[in-house]
Chains A and B, each alone.
Chain A
Amino acid sequence: MEYKQIQELLKAVNKSNISELSIKDGDFEITIKQSSPETQYVAVQAQLPAFAGMPQQSIAAPAPAPAAPAPATTAKETAAPENGNTITVKSPMIGTFYRSSAPDKPPFVNVGDEIQPGQVICIVEAMKLFNEIESEVSGRIVKVLIDDASPVEYDQPLFLVEPA
């Protein structure tokens, strides 16, 4: 494989959700590993013809799981769960994230809880206005990504949910 092809291959893997790719072609062998920041995606078996053209054409796309954006400065990094696909619930607002409606009240949701669409899962407060954030999916809370009373920005990941 030529250097330029390897470069293209690296670019393609980097752009995709693939975490590991191995290619064997006669005497030539290459393994590319990429650490994924959050959720795990369905693993892909790439079917590879002989290298004639651009390598990126021969890499199959992974199953479309909702992609997580680059985490913001205040986000906590989390280990990816073991199996299946998970949905990331992101903040539609900028403000301070609260897990319960008041300091002395229990959190709206905990890890392991089942949630329904329309159910309030947290509060994001800005300018003294408390906004209840409702879930758009049904499923199970796998992970809470933000500490209570932490600032969050637009589109910041808040929860990992395993869809029902």
Chain B
Amino acid sequence: MFKKILIANRGEIALRIIRTCREMGIQTVAVYSMADKDSLHVRFADEAVCIGKAQSADSYLNIPHLMAAAEITNADAIHPGYGFLAENAGFAEICAQYNIKFIGPTPEMIRSMGDKMTAKETMIKAGVPVIPGSEDLLQSVEEAKKLAEEMGYPIILKATAGGGGKGMRVVWQEDELEKNYHTAKQEAAASFKNDGIYMEKFVEEPRHIEIQIAGDQFGTVCHMSERDCSIQRRHQKLVEESPSPFVSPELRQQMGEAAIKAAMAINYESVGTIEFLVDKHHKFYFMEMNTRIQVEHGVTEEVINFDLIKEQIKIAAGIPISGKNYEPQMHAIECRINAEDPFNDFRPSPGTITVLHTPGGHGIRVDSHIYAGYTIPPYYDSMIAKVIAIAQTREEAINTMERALSEYVIEGVKTTIPFHQQLMQNEQFRKGDFTTKFIESFELKNKPS
């Protein structure tokens, strides 16, 4: 087992990793930028090394500084957390060169899932359902028509150089195809100077449902069931839950098996997540694989009673996993609390927390690095806490979350707590009837301060 782990991250996940290391008797090294001198993870770790200026590029993304810090502290492993360098194959490679264990997959595994085209090809070969699409750029309207007929409408035309929703056209039936083909190409040319477009099946009313998996160094892979992350704003997850109100035991088994197939196709080592889109007909399609621990991992931990960080460290130390699959025994919901003003278009609100009262009681877990007097730096992401409510049923979990949010006091900065409170009271959300489009039509009522 490792003697000392350097955590190449900050904020709540650095704390999370330090906690498990402490329970396992492993020494911890925190690294911090000049802006994070007063951060909690610095105080909780056994040792701390300042690694650079506030900007992430100078500190948390600075590989030479991180490796030097590992060297002077004699760390024998590095945990990358999530974000930053967690899915940087180059960093994983450098760690390997320096004989410091990167707690995660190998560089090859990271690369194979990082490239979207390669990932899709690997999945097709493995027999994992993917979103049907054209193999190449569309050359003509006739080709488009033929493909669309094979796939079945509705389809979506996408710009290959695209982004921001530009150069995308949803086509519902054949007589609309030609017109949309041309406008999509024109928009792509105008926006990206590249009129190349390809086609994909348009997944109707998709839900974002992901499967947690773990694989050891000996070829065993298991799954730990799903998390529903459909509540998103601009592709950022806001609320996650397990089990998904949309997933039946049969669908769970099918998706679990597909996720294991996906991980085995690349001989995956460490914990990871396979993300799927699920349409209203309960058909699921591979979207992408995250080769790291995720923000919302705590949701799964609570419903299967398992420490995923501990498992991750054990796998990295060469300990085999049991191979058992895990199904949710409880219901858990997580709300991500950000330092943003929900009544002003979620504008970021860094600043000093003057008053803090964290919720407690039966069925509440709060993962957070904030404390009264802490100044939230403006250089990093705005998430300041994760609140997880656990109960026997979904309805009770929502009620517990409502109760907890009502006692969560954070003064000095604006937070998204009021937004989550309204969300928990929303009828559609309570019914479990939502897709990734839900937040678009969700109206925040303006509360007087």
| A residues whose Cβ falls under 8 Å from a Cβ of B | 69-70, 72-73, 93-96, 126-127, 151-156
Contact = CB atoms under 8 A, between A and B. Distances in A.
Contacts of A155: 34, 50
Given A72-B50, A94-B51, A154-B50, A126 B34 contact: no
B98 interface: yes
Contacts of B50: 72, 94, 153-156
B55 interface: no
Interface stretch (B64-72, B80-88, B199-207, B400-408): B64-72
B69 A94 contact: yes
Nearest to A72: B50
A73 B47 contact: yes
Contacts of B382: none
B399 interface: no
Contacts of B303: none
Interface string B282-320: 000000000000000000000000000000000000000
Interface in B81-100: 98
A127 B34 CA distance: 23
Contacts of B69: 94, 153
Contacts, number: 49
Nearest to B67: A127
Contact of A94 (B37, B65, B98): B65
Contact of A153 (B51, B53, B67): B51
A9 to B, nearest CB: 19
B73 interface: yes
A72 B37 CA distance: 10
Measured as residues with beta carbon below 8 angstroms from the partner, the interface class of chain B is: 10 to 19
B119 interface: no
Contacts of A152: 72
A148 B295 CA distance: 42
6 contacts: A70-B37, A94-B72, A96-B72, A151-B72, A153-B51, A154-B51
Contacts of A153: 49-51, 69, 72
A73 B47 CA distance: 8
A94 B49 contact: yes
B167 interface: no
Contacts of B64: 126-127
Interface string B227-256: 000000000000000000000000000000
Contacts of B68: 93-95, 126-127
Top 9 nearest A-B pairs by Cβ distance? A126-B68, A151-B72, A94-B68, A153-B50, A154-B50, A153-B49, A95-B68, A154-B52, A94-B69
Nearest to B66: A94
Nearest to A92: B52
A126 B67 contact: yes
Given A154-B65, A155-B34, A95 B72 contact: yes
Contacts of A127: 64, 67-68, 71, 98
A95 B50 CA distance: 11
B48 interface: yes
A126 B71 contact: yes
A142 to B, nearest CB: 24
A65 B65 CA distance: 28
Contacts of A69: 34, 37
Nearest to B98: A127
Given A127-B67, A151-B72, A154-B52, 15 more contacts: A73-B48, A94-B65, A94-B68, A94-B69, A94-B72, A95-B71, A126-B67, A126-B71, A127-B64, A127-B71, A127-B98, A153-B50, A153-B69, A155-B34, A155-B50
